[in-house]
Amino acid sequence: MRLTPSIRLAAACLLSVAVYFLAFAFVLDRPLALGFPRAQIEAKLALGAAIPGRKLVILAGSNGPYSHRCETIEPLLAIPCVNAGVAVGIGLDYLFARWKPLLKPGDIVYLPLEEAQYVRGRAETAVGPDAAIMLRHDWATLRTLRAERWEAALFPQDLRGAVMSVIESALVAARFHDPRAEATGGMNAWGDHVGHTATLGAGNRAMLAHLSPQHVTAAAIEAGYGTRIVAGFLDWAPGHGIVTVGGLPTAFADAPMPPATEAAIRTVFRRHGARFLSLPNRAAYPRVDFFDTAEHLNEAAQIAHSKLVAAALSAVLGRSAAVRHDLVAAPGQQPPALHVTQRLTAPSSPAP
Amino acid sequence: MLFNSTTFILGFLPIGLAGLFVCGRLEDGRWALAWLVGASLVFYGWWNPVHVPLLCGSIVVNHWLGRRIASYPGTIARRWLAVGVVLNLSLLGWFKYAGFLFGIDPPALPLAISFFTFQQIMYLADSNGATSNGATGNGTASNGIARSGRNAGHDGFLPYAAFVSFFPHLIAGPIVRPREILPQLRAAGLARPDPDAIAAGLEIFLLGLAKKLVLADMFGRFADTGFDAAAHGAALTLFEAWYALLAYALQIYFDFSGYSDMAIGLARMMNVRFPVNFASPYQARSIAEFWRRWHITLGQFLRDYVYIPLGGNRRLPALLVTMLLCGLWHGAAWRFVIWGGLHGLFLLVHRLWRRLGITLPSPLCWLLTLLAVVLAWVPFRADGLDAAWRMLRGLSGANGVALPRMIVDALPWLGHVAVPVPLLPYLGDARTLSFPEVTACLGLGWFIVLAMPHVHELQPRMRGVTLTAGFAFTIQALFFAPHVAPFLYFQF
């Protein structure tokens, strides 16, 4: 049978979409670029699921694990803590969808979200790395999200993604030694990033010295698509007995977040019934305290910042118990046992 | 309005086509042409409506001049032609070169002024029959399109306005000749829907769209990393510089040839055939052949309306002057002049070499040509001469050779020539795996341009296969890519 040009054209287009879908839904994968955050997300979810009682969950982008340390906060507040942040590119709606089933009445969710997360647009959110993760591995969560998310998830990868799928799969098959752990550190059993010491980050100092962070405006925060997602979560939480607390991401002391932006973030939380953590230093530190970006403190500063956060959280939550400085564990040491029944091992390098 | 925007593809194009075909059912085709002109002005004004009156005024004045030229004999016609050329070049010069030449604040550049000015100069010259063999017509134009043989100046206003403003070529070419297009716009079948022509045109359009969205924009991101770093004073190492340059060479080819294919496809849907504008230029085995394959319609314009009138083959400087003007046409900046000058120099060297009668092996010819063309993109793309110089230093290896440690660990002999580093900061996204990623993508891109036939050479079956390979990625980029990059040639 001779096909007319119109039918041939339509057939080529349909076949293209079908092949693309089959390839990215069932065959191609990015075990290094996406496998790593996926493994982190799953490990942290498993950690949260393993805690039987109430817990503190820190949810953010990479500012969560790099600049906050559950290993430090947990004994200070005497409450099991999970550092659930992974990377700023992971959609908040996806993270909330994954965490909601694990949150129980009495749980506390602390959200020191990066500025970028409030202003991340609808389109950008829809095609984030979680879109590819969902299409390939997590249809269950994809089904729970809005139509625009699964429409975008059907087309999660560009040509670079396809090329990298092949390369990464080949590297994994060849038992490629991922050098990232040596370059940036790894993850502990609380989900904290560890090992990102000042010594390891010495090579980034010149770059950090010249980095000029771009802060977003208060108007952008108010109008942001990410803000709407956060607001939705804040509205959902009280009905389920969840306590939500907002916070600021870390920033350079010489280039802090503008007061108007900070006020806008605080307003988002307060308007939706959440509390907000005000730290004496507004989470701002000298550049020497950072590892490789303005959201990543080095390990010593991470621990110091976590003590401040613990003290402020204690005050905000109205806990009677004072912060227990005697229970602070040294980096790398196991703190006194709390209620966590199982600590999971997790991948130990950051997103490539 | 961008060809690669959803507004154009889902809104303007279907409405424009439907309106044309509906108008085509009305008497004598004038309504169809009027619709085409109206739609084209909407298309043009979508970007910046302020310049629509300028385009309209230019069309009216040039049509009037064309009629004057066509209705007078010899000397008087040539005077009218001179008036027209001066007027057009003055308009172009004022908007495009006033800042460059006189150091004044340049006025806002009207979109596509370089293209519609050249189109209309061709019209005036053709009206006079004043150009050389290539322009005056010898029966068949390039790409096999039949010529009518009649003077363009005899056309009515509506076909002329449709020819100049015809939206498929208005913004960035191809630079089509009046005698090739006007007869097609006057043809009875213009506004008659032809399913086969629509399918063929849509297929070419989609392949062009894939070139732009899937390939050009991907390589553009790689190129921008390196060139932007050079613009900010960074010292690029050998691989960072070469990868950025090779990526830019692919970006500009896929971007511009993709645009041209889209224009050809759009015109085809409306039963108008445009000439091919790119024919695998990086496969050229000489610089002269490169210019017969790269932006073919511009090359032909320059040959027929600048080079030959300047003396052509009889005068060597004509070549250099033509190419300098070619560079200047791309933009009012020294970097474009240098680019044009380099190509003029290459063409001179090529001509002198041919006179020597020494023949080099074909692969060596190809390699030398490619190297010259690619290196000439450095001043063309760099943000200023300082940045170009920094890029050239990187390309020469003056800033050292560095490779990711993972590569050196895997291939230890590379340690003798390259310094192992955790990652290359000016390569791709500066991630651990950026080096293999960019390497693989460049490999794919250069395979396509060097080993595959261009879109218009592909057999129908292979076109289908190519579309199957690219369509889904095009959909991904069109609807789900967070950023839309404009066409590079919009700025010219």
As a whole number of angstroms, the distance between CA A8 and CA A14 comes to 10
Distance (Å) from the C-alpha of residue A319 to the closest C-alpha of chain B? 43
Is B215 near chain A, with CB under 8 Å?
Answer: yes
DSSP class per residue in A43-64: HHHHHHHT--S--EEE--STHH
Which DSSP letter does residue B146 get? B
Per-residue DSSP letter, B484: -
Q: How would residue A320 be classed by pLDDT, with cut points 50, 70 and 90? A: very low
pLDDT band at B144 (very low <50, low <70, confident <90, very high): very low
- Return the sign of the alpha-carbon dihedral for residues A273, A279, A285, A291: negative
Q: What percent of chain A has pLDDT over 90?
A: 67
The predicted structure's pLDDT at residue B138: 38
Q: What are the pLDDT digits (tens) for B449-473?
A: 999 999 999 998 899 999 999 999 9
Overall average pLDDT of the B113-134 stretch? 76
Q: What is the CA radius of gyration of chain A?
A: 21
Angle among Cα A111, A115, A120 to the nearest 5 degrees reads 100
pLDDT of A338 over the 80 cut: no
Query: What are the tens digits of pLDDT across the range B244-259?
Result: 999 999 999 999 999 9
Q: What is the mean pLDDT of chain B?
A: 88
pLDDT at residue B313 in the model: 81
Please list the alpha-helical segments (H only) found in B26-156. 30-47, 52-71, 74-92, 98-102, 113-128, 133-136
Note the pLDDT of residue B329: 86
Contact A183 B203 (CB under 8 A): no
- φ, ψ of residue A333 to 5 degrees: the values are -90, 155
Gap between the Cα atoms of B419 and B417, Å rounded: 7
Query: For A136-192, what is each residue's pLDDT tens digit?
Result: 999 999 999 988 888 889 998 999 999 999 999 998 888 877 766 667 778 999 999
B480 touches chain A (CB under 8 A): yes
Tens of pLDDT, residue by residue over A176-195, are 777 666 677 789 999 999 99
Residue carrying structure tokens 């919009």: B490
Q: Can you read off the two tokens belonging to residue B478?
A: 């069109």
Q: From the candidates B209, B268, B442, B476, which should be mutated to test the interface with A, based on the most A CB atoms within 10 A?
A: B476
Task: State the Cα–Cα distance between residues B331 and B311, nearest whole angstrom.
Answer: 25
Q: Report A:222-251 residues touching B (Cβ under 8 A).
A: none
pLDDT tops 90 at residue A59: yes
Tokens read off for B246? 């090779």
Q: Considering the candidates B330, B343, B350, B454, report the single residue annotated as catalytic.
A: B330
If you ran DSSP here, which 8-state letter would residue B383 be given? S
Give this prediction's pTM: 0.84
| Inter-chain residue contact B195 with A6, CB threshold 8 Å | yes
B416 is catalytic: no
Which residues in chain A are closer than 8 Å to B215, comparing Cβ atoms? 159
Tokens 């249809």 map to which residue?
A: A139
Cα–Cα distance, B181 to B135 (Å, whole number): 14
B432 touches chain A (CB under 8 A): yes
Count the neighbouring beta carbons within 10 Å of the beta carbon of residue A288.
12
Token pair, residue B479, equals: 């609807």
**CA-to-CA dists, residue B431 to A213, A242, B194, angstroms:** 20, 38, 50
Cβ of A126 within 8 Å of Cβ of B475? The answer is no
Q: Which residues contact A69 (CB under 8 A, 6 or more apart)?
A: A83, A190, A192, A194, A302, A303, A306
Peptide bond into B174 cis (omega under 30): yes
Per-residue confidence band for B129, with pLDDT thresholds at 50, 70 and 90? low
pLDDT, residue B186, reads 86
Residue B116 confidence (pLDDT) above 50:
yes
Provide mean pLDDT across the span A91-97.
Answer: 95
Each residue's pLDDT tens digit, A21-55: 999 999 999 988 888 899 999 999 999 999 998 99
- Residue-level pLDDT at A284: 95
Residue spans of alpha helices (H) in B166-216: 167-170, 178-186, 195-210
Is the pLDDT at B348 greater than 50, yes or no? yes
Q: Is residue A331 over pLDDT 60?
A: no
Contact residues on chain A for B440, CB-CB shorter than 8 A: 163-164, 166-167
Confidence of residue B152 (pLDDT cuts 50, 70, 90): very low
B199 touches chain A (CB under 8 A): yes
